[in-house]
Structure 1
Amino acid sequence: MHTRAKGSIAEERGCEFLRKKKLRIIDRNVYNRFGEIDIIALDPDNVLHFVEVKSAVTYEQAVNNITPSKLQKLHRTIQTYLQQKRLNLDYCIDALILSDEGLEWIENITL
């Protein structure tokens, strides 16, 4: 299976998980000149969650793909998205880690 196909499957599983947690999916695969946002979801408290989805065989392999450089690009991508959509909401950056060990949601990751 191609990497893109695996990523799409992981993102779909991630969206299902977030919906079960009562978040509403606002957007997916948002691209701009700085990068991509995998999932954008809104929680019941009107906080936007910008979710980076990573999948690998092991948890460690997946989580190690979230580098400081990746987070910096993601932050710039988010700022551009918020400006383009004229949104002024609280937000956080989350990670959904999918591995053979299961799925883990890490909320509010930082640089």
Structure 2
Amino acid sequence: MSNQLGAAYEARALQYLRRQRLTLVACNYRCRRGEIDLIMRDPDGVLVFVEVRARRKHDFGGALESVTTRKRQRLVAAAEHYLATQTAAWPACRFDVIAFDGPPDAAPQWVRNAFDGSG
């Protein structure tokens, strides 16, 4: 997926999550260990690390299946790095996935607690 297309899906995911009453903390957080597409806070104060995935074709599986063990490990490592840079106590956290399958106007599938911090 091109960077431009990826940014468009991330923007759609952000809009969707805002409608669900989550607030944006950071976007495209990068460190040596990985990248996190969106960091949000839910209405209960839980910090949510969000991976946005999109697949137009299912030749190699859907968008959810594209979040491999390696990708999960990199997300967890990036989240640990992010938390280590914060001065406040570590809040409750979770890892969510927003998946888009099919045509560009496909509705997002939001999977809360898609995986745990063990990757």
> Size of the alignment, in residue pairs?
110
Q: Which moved more, 1:92-101 or 1:32-41?
A: 92-101
Match of 1:74 in 2: 75
Corresponding residue number in structure 2 for 1:109: 114
- Cα displacement string for residues 19-45 of structure 1 (whole angstroms, at most 9, x for unaligned residues): 000000111000001010000000110
Deviation at 1:58, TM superposition (A): 4.6
Q: Counterparts of 2:82 and 2:34 in 1: how far apart (Å)? A: 11
**Displacement of 1:102 after TM fit?**
2.4
Structure 1 stretches of 4+ with a deviation exceeding 3 A read: none
Show the counterpart of 2:12.
13
Q: State the AA in 1 paired with 2:68.
A: T
Give the number of the structure whose residues are more often helix, by fraction. 1
Following the alignment from structure 1 to structure 2, what is the Cα–Cα distance between the partners of residues 66 and 95? 9
The alpha carbon displacement at 1:57 in A equals 1.1
RMSD over aligned Cα atoms: 1.5
TM-score w.r.t. structure 2 length?
0.86
In the TM superposition, what is the alpha-carbon distance from 1:64 to its structure 2 partner? 1.8
Unaligned residue ranges in structure 2 (runs of 5+): none
Q: TM-score, normalization: structure 1?
A: 0.92
Q: Which residue of 1 aligns with 2:23?
A: 24
Identical-pair percentage: 29
